[in-house]
């Protein structure tokens, strides 16, 4: 077991894919003010003399001069303890140069402890997570490289207890880096461990002769904008893995995940991975251990593209999805693609382990090897505050893919209830926020509350595999407006539902989305707003007009109004239905006399059914009677309450103390249990 234990058209889809990795072609070049040999700083290179101080002196000098290259010349073996790579420095291992790990603790700049696992109750707590890596780069380091045709030689005494067991390369909070063309031989722990690092490539690397278990190839923990390609990795444990981590208890010396960043824009391609452990290991692996994170969006995994690799392992593809340290919600994962990989299971394994299907994921795409494994079949985190998911820790962008200037915010913009999704910075290219869900043939309605800066934006339903637009509608209203589209799915697959910039290029334009819903059928379903909800309490403090703001995603008729009462409430009530945008009464006023004596729902049949338009806000209001009794559930509308085609908002419970006026005020997002019966 591993020590970590382990849209407008099809063209638009291509553009979006390319944009996802545009950073790759904009990495700044290395500074070249100096080009030095470590021999000039006193390195001996005989394989027995400690050359750490000399090599570090060369790195420090080049860094102080503004950058350049530190060369390890060929034909020499440089014995060393841990080295710290610094900004604007390239460490170049020339052909036939060897950088050799020392097993003498006196040769190290940081204290090292012999052994593999620390004692105590924390599982898989390796000394390598306490001991510094052989080559380390830390927070704030930028523009660095480890290159060349030379070799990093890791060493092992044959006994964990007498060996310094460390990672060959470990980067933490490093930006803009390249690791290329080197060979790492004899690893006893990870070959390359990247932690919360950004904008980097690992290419042309060979790992050979793994000495022990735990000799993983490339580990990416909470990283962004990384490409791992054209590597040949022979490992004693997992080959390449993407690790989402939150507050892992093993960190704290040279790395930590207490303040994670989301994993995004990871491309793993054209690698040859041969995993030689006896069983249970993976060629490519997701490790999603974020159970304790109160906001899963800060450690989510998005836009991971794994393609054209050869992966040989017990399980060529796998996932670890339950945090062993802090059990809790599973990591939200979106926009993951597996394509054209050659999967070779050994040791009686299978191409995929059983956890891949269980990962909570949206906008998932896999080829024939992933038959039956799909995106979520329902919208998740529908109001960006946790609705539609099993835990309110799923909020902000959890399960939503954002392209370009997309994200989530809880700034007060007239939309009650916390977070909403947004798009902006259209001058930088495509901007969209969407969720990919697996749909089977049928008719569906996607609805949401949307807002624009005034620019013409687009709500869409798009087939993920080829960018075919099934349906779309433009919107430009500067106030929050209900919008919906109805579309038909002909073949099962992943479909993207969301909003985008509709080709706009303004630097100041923006769009927002909230309270999303996906319902089956385009003709609508009969029903009420509330289903199983009941009041938390009752009050009788004064006279009120009490209401619920709502809309329907399809046109239809309101045939009844209803309210929930306690056994005491009775007398004459007044029923009205209002068009919210104009404040006009479209049904009523009707006098409704209720007889006290029983608690529960009471229904009033409208003298004439009210025809309502789709995606238009209405308020159903029923006054209190002379006894002033009414039901109330404080915070009952912290999130929308939706049923079928009937959609509400956070803060849909409204009131006024002015008799006969349209209620518009809110208090603690309370629900006053005013409802309608809708027939499409």
Rounded CA separation 580/588 (Å): 15
Q: How far apart are CA 192 and CA 105, in angstroms?
A: 21
Alpha-carbon distance of 385 to 396, in angstroms, equals: 6
**Mean pLDDT score, 654-675:** 97
CB-based contact 581:665 (threshold 8 Å):
no
Distance CA 152, CA 202 (A): 15
What's the rounded Cα separation, in Å, for the pair 335 and 432?
Answer: 13
* CA angle 168–172–174, rounded 5-degree value: 110
CA distance 64 to 41: 15
Element (H, E) at 318: strand 315-320
**Is there a common fold for 10-114+124-360 and 527-679?**
no
* CATH code reported for the domain at 527-679: 2.60.120.820
Choice between 5 and 628, residue whose per-residue pLDDT is larger: 628
* Nearest alpha-carbon partner for 186 in 119, 103, 90: 103
Residue with tokens 């060349």: 148
Model confidence pLDDT, tens digit, residues 577-629: 999 999 999 999 999 999 999 999 999 999 999 999 988 999 999 999 999 99
Both tokens of 313, joined, read 């392992």
Superfamily of domain 10-114+124-360: Single-stranded right-handed beta-helix, Pectin lyase-like (2.160.20.10)
Q: Pick 288 or 523 by higher pLDDT.
A: 288
Which residues, listed in sequence order, are joined to residue 169 by a DSSP beta bridge?
A: 135, 192
| Structure confidence at residue 23 (pLDDT) | 37
Query: For residues 188 and 166, what is the distance between their CA atoms, to the nearest angstrom?
Result: 7
When mean pLDDT is compared across 261-270, 290-299, 408-417, the lowest value belongs to: 408-417
Q: CA angle, corner 609, sides to 605 and 614, nearest 5?
A: 125
Domains of the chain by residue range: 10-114+124-360, 401-520, 527-679
331-360 residue pLDDT tens = 999 999 999 999 999 999 999 999 999 999
Name the DSSP letter for residue 150. Answer: -
Right CATH for 401-520 from 2.40.50.140, 2.60.120.260, 3.50.50.60, 2.60.120.10: 2.60.120.260
Q: Say which residues have a Cβ less than 8 Å from residue 26's Cβ, sequence separation at least 6.
A: none
Yes or no: say if 229 and 307 are a contact pair by the CB < 8 Å rule. no
The pLDDT tens digits for 560-569 are: 999 999 999 9
């Amino acid at each position: 077991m591993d020590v970590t234990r382990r849209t407008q058209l099809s063209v638009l889809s291509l553009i979006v894919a390319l944009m996802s990795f545009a950073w790759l072609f904009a990495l700044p070049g290395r500074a070249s003010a100096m080009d030095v040999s470590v021999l000039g700083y006193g390195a001996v290179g005989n394989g027995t003399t400690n050359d750490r101080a000399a090599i570090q002196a060369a790195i420090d000098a080049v860094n102080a001069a503004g950058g350049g290259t530190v060369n390890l010349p060929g034909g020499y073996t440089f014995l060393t303890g841990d080295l710290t790579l610094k900004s604007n420095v390239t460490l170049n291992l020339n052909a036939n140069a060897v950088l050799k790990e020392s097993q003498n603790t006196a040769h190290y700049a940081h204290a090292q402890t012999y052994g593999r696992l620390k004692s105590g109750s924390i599982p898989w707590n390796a000394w390598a997570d306490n001991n510094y890596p052989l080559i380390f780069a830390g927070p704030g380091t930028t523009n660095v490289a480890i290159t060349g045709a030379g070799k990093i030689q890791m060493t092992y005494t044959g006994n964990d207890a007498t060996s310094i067991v460390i990672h060959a390369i470990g980067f933490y909070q490093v930006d803009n880096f390249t690791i290329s063309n080197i060979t790492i031989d004899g690893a006893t722990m990870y070959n390359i461990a990247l932690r919360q690092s950004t904008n980097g490539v690992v290419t042309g690397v060979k790992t050979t002769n793994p000495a022990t278990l735990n000799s993983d190839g490339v580990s990416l923990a909470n990283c962004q904008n990384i490409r791992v390609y054209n590597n040949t990795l022979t490992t004693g444990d997992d080959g390449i893995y993407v690790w989402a981590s939150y507050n892992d208890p093993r960190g704290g010396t040279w790395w930590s995940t207490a303040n994670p960043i989301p994993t995004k824009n990871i491309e793993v391609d054209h690698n040859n991975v041969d995993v030689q452990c006896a069983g249970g290991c993976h060629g490519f692996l997701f490790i999603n251990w974020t159970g304790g994170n109160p906001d899963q969006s800060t450690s989510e995994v998005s836009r991971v593209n794994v393609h054209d690799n050869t992966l040989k392992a017990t399980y060529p593809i796998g996932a670890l999805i339950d945090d062993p340290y802090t059990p809790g919600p599973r990591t939200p994962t979106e926009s993951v693609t597996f394509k054209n990989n050659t999967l070779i299971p050994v040791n009686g394994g299978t191409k995929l382990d059983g956890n891949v299907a269980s990962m909570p994921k949206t906008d998932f795409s896999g080829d024939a090897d992933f038959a039956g494994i799909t995106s979520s079949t329902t919208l998740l985190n529908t109001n960006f505050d946790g609705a539609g998911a099993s835990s309110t820790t799923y909020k902000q962008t959890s399960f939503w893919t954002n392209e370009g200037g997309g994200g989530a915010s809880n700034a007060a913009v007239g939309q009650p209830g916390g977070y909403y999704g947004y798009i902006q910075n259209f001058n930088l290219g495509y901007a969209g926020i969407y969720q990919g869900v697996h749909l089977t043939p049928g008719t569906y309605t996607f609805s949401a509350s949307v807002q624009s800066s005034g620019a013409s934006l687009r709500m869409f339903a798009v087939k993920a595999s080829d960018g075919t637009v099934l349906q779309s509608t433009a919107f430009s209203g500067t106030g929050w407006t209900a919008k919906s589209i109805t579309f038909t799915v002909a073949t099962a697959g992943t479909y993207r539902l969301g909003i985008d910039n509709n080709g706009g290029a303004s630097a100041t334009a923006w769009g927002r989305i909230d309270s999303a819903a996906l319902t089956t059928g385009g003709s609508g379903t009969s029903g009420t707003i509330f289903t199983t909800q009941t009041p938390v309490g009752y009050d009788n403090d004064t006279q009120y007009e009490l209401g619920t703001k709502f809309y329907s995603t399809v046109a239809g008729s309101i045939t009844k109004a209803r309210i929930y009462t306690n056994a005491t409430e009775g007398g004459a009530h007044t029923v009205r239905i209002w068009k919210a945008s104009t404040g006009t009464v479209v049904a009523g006023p009707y006098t409704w006399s209720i007889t006290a004596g029983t608690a529960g729902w009471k229904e009033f049949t409208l003298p004439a059914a009210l025809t309502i338009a789709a995606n238009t806000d209405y308020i159903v209001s029923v006054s209190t009677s002379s006894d002033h009794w009414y039901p109330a559930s404080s915070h009952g509308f912290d999130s929308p309450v939706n049923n079928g085609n009937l959609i509400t908002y956070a803060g849909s419970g409204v009131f006024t103390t002015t008799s006969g006026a349209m209620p518009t005020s809110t208090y603690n997002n309370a629900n006053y249990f005013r409802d309608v019966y809708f027939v499409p």
